[in-house]
Amino acid sequence: MRKWTFAKGHGTKNDFVIVRDRHGTVRIDDADVRFLCDRHAGIGGDGLLRVTKASSIPEWEGDPDLWFMDYRNADGSIAEMCGNGLRVFVRYLMEEGLASGESIPVATRAGLRTVQPLIDGRLRCGMGPVRLADEPVTVTIEIPHLGPQGSWQATAVDVGNPHAVCFLEDSDVSLVELDLGREPIWTPADRFPAGTNIEFVEVIDERHISMRVHERGAGETLSCGTGTVAAAHAYARRAGLVDGEVRVDVPGGWVVVGLGEQEATLTGPAVIVARGETWLPDNL
Query: For residue 135, what is the DSSP state?
Result: S
Name the catalytic one among 37, 125, 166, 224.
224
Q: Is 283 annotated as a binding residue?
A: no
**How far is Cα of residue 238 from the mean position of the Cα atoms in its chain?**
23
CA distance 177 to 197: 19
Rounded CA separation 5/180 (Å) = 33
Task: Give, for 280, the enclosing helix (H) or strand (E).
Answer: strand 271-280
In the set 37, 82, 125, 166, the catalytic residue is 82
Report whether 42 belongs to an annotated binding site: no
Which residue, among 80, 107, 233, has the nearest Cα to 162 in the 3D structure? 80
Can you tell me the distance from the alpha carbon of 228 to that of 250, in angstroms, rounded to the nearest whole number?
8
- Whether residue 9 is annotated as binding a ligand: the answer is no
CB 116 within 8 A of CB 91: no
Closest Cα partner for 85 from 73, 97, 95?
A: 73
Check the annotation: does 199 bind a ligand: no
Helix (H, G, I), strand (E, B) or coil at 30: helix
Residues making up the chain, counted from first to last:
284
The closest alpha carbon to 127, from 28, 232, 20, belongs to 232
Decide: 45 and 38 in contact? Cβ < 8 Å: no
**Catalytic residue status for 82:** yes
| Residues annotated within a binding site for substrate | 14, 73, 83-84, 161, 197, 215-216, 225-226
Active-site residues, by number, are 82, 224
| Residues annotated within a binding site | 14, 73, 83-84, 161, 197, 215-216, 225-226
